[in-house]
Chain A
């Protein structure tokens, strides 16, 4: 049973380029979360998605950032026209469908480390 997979693990982009980060949730998981972690900082929530739906994107910057979780394929976090301040570790987490009031554990992928030159 493969865990959460993220690729690429490391991504280098020049300012102004686009970055695409992919996340494949664990089998049977229908919920995906994206987080950003800056050096010496905590994890900051960005967006919460279910298949074909953005449930909560309150943590996403209003410009340049977008996310999707299509019916088929991985979830994608897309950053357009990257700037140096976008350099960070981006983690994806997945969880099973929520049942009743039970909040399920989130399983994290290994992260993508984005470096903007």
Chain B
């Protein structure tokens, strides 16, 4: 089983839709979690950190479920500009080396 797994998609949604991605991790010692966004042929950029209590930033909400070992990203009121690949990133406790998922592709169409 891969350390970090994501559904590659693509998720094809109309503007204004709500879409959610999950990311599962295999190592229960994982302690830090992030969502990054990567546009085609560009570098990854941090979208948000994922806190135990869950956190929200505008239209984006991140949740952590330690019992089931997954994190989620919810995007409300999708915009065309949200089209990108969303990368799940996990750090094990005591490690400074992040593990990246392969990413979930989102396509928002008019």
User: When the two chains form the complex, which single residue of B34, B41, B43, B99 contacts A45, counting CB atoms closer than 8 Å?
Assistant: B99
Chain A residues with CB below 8 A from B96, complex form: 31, 48, 55-56, 98, 103
Query: Cβ of B44 < 8 Å from any Cβ of A?
Result: yes
Find out whether the CB atom of B42 lies under 8 angstroms from the CB atom of A91.
no
Query: Cβ of A109 < 8 Å from any Cβ of B?
Result: yes
Chain B residues with CB below 8 A from A108, complex form: 43-45
Interface residues of A (CB under 8 A from B): 31, 35, 41-45, 48, 55-56, 58-59, 89, 91, 98, 103, 105-111
Interface residues of B (CB under 8 A from A): 32, 34, 41-46, 49, 87, 91, 96-103
User: When the two chains form the complex, which single residue of A58, A91, A103 contacts B32, counting CB atoms closer than 8 Å?
Assistant: A103
User: When the two chains form the complex, which single residue of A44, A56, A105, A110 contacts B43, counting CB atoms closer than 8 Å?
Assistant: A110
Find out whether the CB atom of A58 lies under 8 angstroms from the CB atom of B97.
yes
**Smallest beta-carbon distance A94→chain B, Å:** 12
Nearest 5 interchain pairs by C-beta: A108-B43, A42-B102, A43-B100, A103-B32, A42-B100
